[in-house]
């Protein structure tokens, strides 16, 4: 059993906080929400303080943000149908590009590990792939219409040039470049309601998903020629549901984060709860057990959770109540 | 709304419930009175139907037995007047917005169609339960105006 201890409670947002996102070095936390602003928090001594507020760019809720792999660019997506690209190479964050194309609310954004591709998705049921040229120009490379409903989140694979997306249509889909265009080549079906979020483990061989059906699912990639005899097509792995964690949350699970340093999985729920799961390996194979849970992590729904990429056990979460919390996990 | 768009021309009208009797303990400022079914129902029963000059109570879209306050939150079921009512999502949204405005934010709310009373109840319930879509809908000024009209005090 482990435990989560509250390190800091960050107040400043004046509305629901939809998302938290650590920069690659783990020194800055970006948060965003219904007050149309993005706040950047950093550590000063023992406390976390708001260092910068990015505002006046989006006309509606800022739903989520994502840092480029180099940490110099921050992408922000909004219900106003636009994507903002902020650059800090001049010293201060400046919004130097606005990507338009989605018909309505943009829900999620993700940078490919190379930093050369960006993916966005939204309520218009599409996933957009943007190519970034040497001159920092963003060009739409593809618009994918694979989902039949609102797309909630996009996420690039850590090592392979494939993109995952999850949706209100209850599925997760996998997309790859195919000649000049992008195609969707696999659909993962198992959840019985909206899939809100997904994350990979450190190897990229497994993925975790969370849903309105109140379950968390672990997925395994079976490579061509796998010893289990799972059928594959071409060079692509086949993803299959390995196990399902249920009974831990009593309402929608809005977010999940798989720590690359420790292998711990954190989940955030509409029941105000945070859970941390750890893997145990016994003779029957891997199982995931609850390591610790905070029943009233926030006063309202917990919308987002993310492990710090560099500091072991440091976790950030955000809530409808407008606050952001930083937690330290220890055994 | 133009008469030609009205889907249910001649709805059955039900009587309104009487005002709630105020109990002695409620007059006591020091007493704790938890939110109960009747209080929540009273917040909702005067919401107007989008197409008739009648309240949701008068159309029997809402009745007291379908408003429940439990340990885990508030549960409201509403009954569309006809099984293919295209206004059902808007009615559900109005109920949700009213509850968001009058109740403390910590209380969890579920608004759903009474089982078996609408052809698309699954789709309507899923949409009403998706807070991201509800939030986005309420940032739409036109839709917000329509909802506000349903919520405006009714004589």
CATH (domain of A321): 2.130.10.10
- Please report the pLDDT score of residue B131 as a whole number: 97
Per mean pLDDT, which range of A14-18, A113-117, A180-184, B4-8 is the poorest?
Answer: B4-8
Residue B76 has pLDDT above 50, yes or no: yes
pLDDT given for residue B30 in this prediction? 81
From residue A112, alpha-carbon distances to A89, A94, A265, B65 in Å are 20, 21, 22, 52
As a whole number, mean pLDDT of residues A218-232 equals 95
Determine the Cα–Cα distance for residues A78 and A71; give it in Å rounded to an integer.
20
As a whole number, mean pLDDT of residues A218-236 equals: 95
Select the more confidently predicted residue: A284 or B111.
B111
Burial readout A138-152 (b: 16 or more C-beta within 10 A, e: otherwise): beebbebebbeebbb
What number is the average pLDDT over the span A307-327?
98
Residue A135 has a pLDDT of: 80
What is the spatial distance between Cα A78 and Cα A59, in angstroms, rounded to a whole number? 8
- Give pLDDT, residue B153: 67
Taking 70 as the threshold, does the pLDDT of residue B155 lie above it? no
CA dihedral B32, B35, B41, B47 (to 10 degrees): 100
Q: Hey, how many other C-beta atoms are within 10 angstroms of the C-beta on B68?
A: 16
Determine phi and psi for A65, rounding to 5 degrees: -135, 160
**Cβ(A230)–Cβ(A188) below 8 Å:** no
Region A296-300 average pLDDT: 97
Residue B1: band (very low, low, confident or very high) from pLDDT cuts 50, 70, 90: very low
Structural domain spans, chain B = 35-151
Whole-number pLDDT of residue A174: 98
What is the model's pLDDT at position A211? 98
Q: What is the mean pLDDT of residues B82-108?
A: 94
**What's the confidence (pLDDT) of residue A46?**
86
Task: Reply yes or no on domain B35-151 having CATH 3.30.300.130.
Answer: yes
Look at chain A and report how many structural domains it folds into: 1
Judge contact between A320 and A16, C-beta under 8 A: yes
Residues in B closer than 8 angstroms to A303, CB to CB, are: none
B69 — pLDDT class (breaks 50, 70, 90): very high
Q: Is B145 at the interface with chain A, CB within 8 A? A: no
**Of the listed ranges A4-8, A80-84, A180-184, B32-36, the one predicted with least confidence:** B32-36
Q: Residue B15 has what DSSP assignment?
A: P
The predicted model gives A129-138 an average pLDDT of: 90
Dihedral, CA atoms, A315, A321, A322, A328, nearest 10 degrees? -20
CA distance A130 to A155: 14
Which among A168, A251, A299 has CB closest to B106? A299
Q: Is the pLDDT of residue B32 over 80?
A: no
Q: Closest approach of chain A CAs to the CA of B24, in angstroms?
A: 32
Contact residues, chain A, for B105 at CB < 8 Å: 299-300, 320-321
Q: Is this prediction's ipTM beyond 0.90?
A: yes
* pLDDT tens digits along A185-208: 999 999 999 999 999 999 999 999
Q: State the best of B135, B140, B141, B143 to mutate against chain A, taking most chain A CBs within 10 Å.
A: B135
pLDDT at B26 over 80: no
Reply yes or no on whether the pLDDT at B36 is more than 50.
yes
Report d(CA B101, CA B152) in Å as an integer.
13
Q: State the average pLDDT for chain A.
A: 96
Can you give the pTM of this predicted structure? 0.94
To the nearest whole Å, the CA of A299 is away from the closest chain B CA by 6
Q: What is the mean pLDDT of residues A240-258?
A: 97
Task: List the beta bridge partners of residue A316.
Answer: A306, A326
pLDDT of the residue at B24 = 77
A14, A300, A304: best to mutate for the B interface, most B CBs within 10 A? A300
Between A109-118, A130-139, A182-191, B86-95, the lowest mean confidence (pLDDT) is in A130-139
Residue with tokens 């040497």: A134
Q: Which residues of chain B neighbour A212 with C-beta distances below 8 Å?
A: 126, 129-130
Would you state the pLDDT for residue B2? 47
- Tokens 């059906």, residue? A213
For A271, phi and psi rounded to 5 degrees?
Answer: -95, 20
pLDDT of residue B5: 61
pLDDT of residue B31: 78
Question: Are A143 and A98 a contacting pair, CB within 8 Å?
Answer: no
């Amino acid at each position: 059993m482990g435990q989560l201890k509250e390190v800091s409670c960050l107040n400043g947002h004046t509305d629901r906080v939809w998302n938290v996102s650590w920069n690659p070095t783990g020194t800055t936390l970006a948060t965003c929400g219904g007050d149309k602003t993005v706040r950047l928090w950093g550590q000063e001594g023992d406390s976390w303080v708001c260092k910068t507020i990015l505002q006046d760019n989006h006309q509606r809720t800022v739903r989520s943000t994502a840092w480029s792999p180099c940490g110099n660019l921050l992408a922000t997506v909004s219900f106003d149908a636009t994507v903002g690209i902020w650059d800090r190479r001049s010293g201060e964050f400046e919004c130097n590009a606005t990507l338009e194309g989605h018909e309505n609310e943009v829900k999620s954004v993700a940078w490919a590990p190379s930093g050369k591709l960006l993916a966005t998705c939204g309520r218009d049921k599409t996933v957009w792939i943007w190519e970034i040229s040497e001159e920092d120009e963003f060009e739409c490379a593809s618009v994918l219409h694979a989902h039949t409903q609102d797309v909630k989140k996009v996420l690039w694979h850590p090592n392979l040039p494939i993109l995952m997306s999850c949706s209100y249509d209850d599925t997760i889909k996998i997309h790859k470049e195919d000649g000049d265009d992008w195609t969707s080549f696999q659909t993962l079906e198992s959840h019985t309601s909206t899939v809100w979020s997904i994350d990979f483990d450190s190897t990229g061989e497994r993925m975790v998903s969370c849903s309105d059906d109140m379950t968390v699912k672990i997925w395994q990639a079976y490579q061509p020629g796998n010893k289990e005899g799972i059928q594959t097509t071409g060079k692509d792995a086949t993803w299959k549901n390995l196990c399902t964690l249920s009974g831990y949350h009593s309402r929608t699970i809005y977010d999940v984060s798989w720590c690359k340093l420790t292998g711990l999985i954190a989940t955030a729920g509409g029941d105000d709860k945070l859970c941390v799961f750890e893997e145990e390996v016994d003779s029957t194979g891997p199982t995931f057990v609850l390591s610790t849970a905070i029943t009233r992590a926030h006063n309202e729904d917990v919308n987002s959770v993310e492990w710090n990429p560099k500091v072991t056990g440091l976790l950030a979460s955000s809530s409808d109540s407008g606050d952001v919390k930083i937690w330290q996990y220890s055994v | 709304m133009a008469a030609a768009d009205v889907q249910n021309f001649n709805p059955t009208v039900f009587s309104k419930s009487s005002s709630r009797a105020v109990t002695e303990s409620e007059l006591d400022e020091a007493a704790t009175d938890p939110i109960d079914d009747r209080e929540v129902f009273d917040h909702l029963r005067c919401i107007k139907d989008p197409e008739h000059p009648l309240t949701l109570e008068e159309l029997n879209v809402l009745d007291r037995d379908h408003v429940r306050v439990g340990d885990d939150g508030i549960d409201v079921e509403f009954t569309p007047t006809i099984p293919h009512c295209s206004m059902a999502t808007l009615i559900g949204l109005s109920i949700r917005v009213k509850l968001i405005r009058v109740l403390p934010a910590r209380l969890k709310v579920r608004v759903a169609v009474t089982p078996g009373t609408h052809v698309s109840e699954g789709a309507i319930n899923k949409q009403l339960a998706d807070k991201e879509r509800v939030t986005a809908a309420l940032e739409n000024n036109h839709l917000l105006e329509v909802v506000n009209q349903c919520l405006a005090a009714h004589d």
